[in-house]
Structures are given as C-alpha cells and as structure tokens.
Amino acid sequence: MLTVKLPHLLNNHQVPRVFREDGIISGYRHPKSTAVDCLLSTFQMTNETLNIWTHFLPTWYFLWKFLVLSHTLDFYNEAYTWPLFVYMLFICLYPFTSSCAHTFSTMSAEARHICYFFDYGALSLYSLGCAVTYRAYVMPDRWINSTLHSCFIPVAVFNTVVCTTLSCYSRFLEIEQPKLSKTLRITAFTYPFLFDNIPLFYRLLLCWGEDCSHNDAVPTHYHHLILAILTCFLFASHLPERLAPGCFDYIGHSHQLFHICAVAGTHFQMEAIITDMGCRHSWLELHAPLPSLEGTLGVTVVCLLLNLLIIGIFVLLLSWSPSSSSFLQSNFPDRVKQKRE
C-alpha cells in the first residue's frame, strides 16, 4: 500500500534565525527540505500552509477573470484595452510567484532569499501594472495631457527599479539590522503605491466639480484603498501574533491576513479599473491619446528585463557571500539533523 510521509515540523528554537518569524513559535518546516517535501507540505498544516493557498487560489480567480475579459474585449486589436491587458498579466503573476516563494522557501537559506527576490520583483511589476492602468483610465479629467500624465509611466519604471533593488537588498540586513531591513522593505513597496495612487487620491479627496470623473467606480476605489492601508498595517505590525506569540502559528497570523487583504484589495481595484474603463471610454478617446504599444507592452518587457537583471545581480551577490554570513546560516541542532536522517 502506498503511503506518504509528511515532513516533520519544528519549533522556532530548532531552525536557524533566517527562517524564524516574529511571534511564530511552532509549525516550521525543515530548513533543508527537498522540493518534494515542500510540495507535500502544502497539504499539511504548517505556519506557511495558508500563506501558500491564500495566494495560489486567487491566482486562478484572476486568471479566470482575465479569460472572461479576453472573450469580451479585443486585447489584440483595440489599443484602448492594452493597459488593462498589462494589469491583468501582473495580477495573475504576483500571487502565483508569492505562492511559489512560500512553498519552496525552506529548501535552504540561499533558496529562501532567491524565492523572495522573485516575489519582490513580481510585486514591483504589479505596481507598474497599476501605474499603466491608472494613467490610462483613472487619471482625473483635468489632469489629462498634463505634465504628470506625460511623465507618469517613465517615473513608474524608475519606481519599479527602486522597489526591486531596495526590497532585495533588505534581505541582506534582516539578521544583523532587522529594523533597518523592515524599514527598507516597507519603503520599497509603500513608495510606488503612493505614487501610483496620486491621481486617485486627488480625484477622491481633493477634486470637486464636473471634471473630477466621479462615477460608479468611486465606491469601489474606496474599498481598495481601505484594504491597501490595512494590508500595509498588517505587514508592518506583525499583529496579532506579536501580542500572543504561539497562538496564531497556524491560523490567523499577520502574513495570512496580509495576503487576504492584499488579494481582496486587488479584486476591488480590478473592478474599479474596469468600471472606470467602461464609464470613461468615450470621453477618454476624445480627449486623451490612445495607449501606445511602447507605453504598455513595450514598458512591460523593459521592466521585466530590468527586474530579472536586478534579481540576477542579487543572486550573484548571494553566491559570492561567505558561508559564514549570518543571513546564509542554515545550521540546526544535531538532534534535529538526526530526526531528519
């Protein structure tokens, strides 16, 4: 009879510091798991299981939405839809990449860093997708053809490079300088978010009159912003597990809640963008230039290559780092090693 032996789980004092999470005491996978062990662990209750599934399942939801849109919109021939095409690509990519990163991050200390390099790169590209669609569909009427409207995508490309670089670099500091590491990582993702949403903040909070594009998308935009703020709070605070270490190891810790809020926020953002795209179609076609291939798919390819280059550089820096470096330590007690063998 075929039996499957699930990987043995460890407590925080049994794994190296690089694998530990604040407030999480138990449910850790072996720090030198095989790829098969990592895959099997997705069907075992560990402190990462819900992190994996809360992004893997939404990947299929967003992919389904993408396929539905591809049957109702002409992504191939209609230039007006190209920004949405770019955005949909990235909202399918970032949860899938995150799910893979959480799945395979316990193969080794090096693998953990590399997995999250790609995770950060995917999030950075998602911020670019937001910028592309916000410029095309969300920008207030009175800002169309303004300097900001013209420079929005080039600045977003620069932000993508900064975001990926800062977030990847932060991993080299997380053992020796955890506060600085956390600050750099929060800054890396908050900065592009704030820039991308400048048109939305102005439109929702400061703009009054007929040329402010108030339509059916506004309530959904509010839902997205509330969830985005909550997402940032959960990521930065490590609540509730910081208040009661060990009580939320498997269900209810901040990273799971962060994933759920992020995905829900992306859902509302997607719906708001689609609503704006439909409601403002006629006006935008008359007053704004049509999206160009260079400004949508061209920018996507450039940023994808830049992100792969940055990640490649950090992977090389990782391989050149001495094995004694604290952020590469994956040693564990002999008793744990014996259990493994």
Residue pLDDT, tens place only, 178-187: 999 999 999 9
Looking at every residue in the chain, the average pLDDT score rounds to 92
271 in a domain, yes or no? Answer: yes
| Domain membership flag for residue 25 | no
What is the CATH number for 143?
1.20.1070
Residues 7, 38: Cα–Cα separation, whole Å? 8
In a domain, 8, yes or no: no
CB 94 within 8 A of CB 259: no
pLDDT average, residue stretch 149-155: 96
**Distance between CA atoms of 213 and 276, rounded to whole angstroms?**
9
Both tokens of residue 17?
A: 């510091």
Band the pLDDT of 339: cuts 50, 70, 90. very low
- pLDDT value of residue 329: 72
pLDDT value of position 323 = 64
High-pLDDT (> 90) share of the chain, % = 86
Does residue 341 fall inside a structural domain?
Answer: no
Inside any domain, residue 291: yes
* Mean pLDDT across 119-125: 98
Reading the block at residue 319, the tokens are: 């391989």
Q: CA 55, CA 246: separation in Å to the nearest integer?
A: 23
Q: How far apart are the first and last CA of the chain?
A: 23
pLDDT (average), residues 307-322:
93
What integer pLDDT is reported at residue 120 of this predicted model? 98
Shortest CA distance to 75 belongs to which of 85, 60, 89?
Answer: 85
pLDDT score recorded for residue 321: 80
CB atoms closer than 10 angstroms to residue 208: 7
In a domain, 180, yes or no: yes
pLDDT tens-place string over residues 48-87: 999 999 999 999 999 999 999 999 999 999 999 999 999 9
- The domain total for the chain is 1
127-141, 205-219, 298-312: least confident range: 205-219
Contacts of 205 (CB under 8 A, 6+ apart): none
Domain that holds residue 103: 49-73+81-322
**Inside any domain, residue 12:** no
Given pLDDT bands bounded at 50, 70 and 90, which one contains residue 2?
very low
Which of 290, 309, 311, 307 is closest to 126 using CA atoms?
307
- 3-class DSSP state of 28: strand
Radius of gyration of the chain (CA): 22
pLDDT of residue 198: 96
- Model confidence at 7: pLDDT above 80: no
Residue 207 has pLDDT above 60, yes or no: yes
pLDDT digits (tens, 9 = 90+) for 155-202: 999 999 999 999 999 999 998 999 999 999 999 999 999 999 999 999
**For position 4, what pLDDT does the model report?**
64
Q: Quote the pLDDT of residue 303.
A: 97
Q: What is the mean pLDDT of residues 276-295?
A: 94
Amino acid 324: pLDDT: 61
pLDDT band at 332 (very low <50, low <70, confident <90, very high): low
SS3 for 10? strand
Asked if residue 44 is part of any domain, the answer here is no
Tokens at residue 274, please? 């689609």
pLDDT class of 103 with cuts at 50, 70, 90: very high
Residue 335 has pLDDT above 90, yes or no: no
Angle at 126 between CA 167 and CA 29, to 5 degrees: 55
Please state, in angstroms and rounded to a whole number, the distance separating the CA atoms of residues 61 and 59.
5
Least confident of 254-258, 268-272, 291-295, 321-325: 321-325
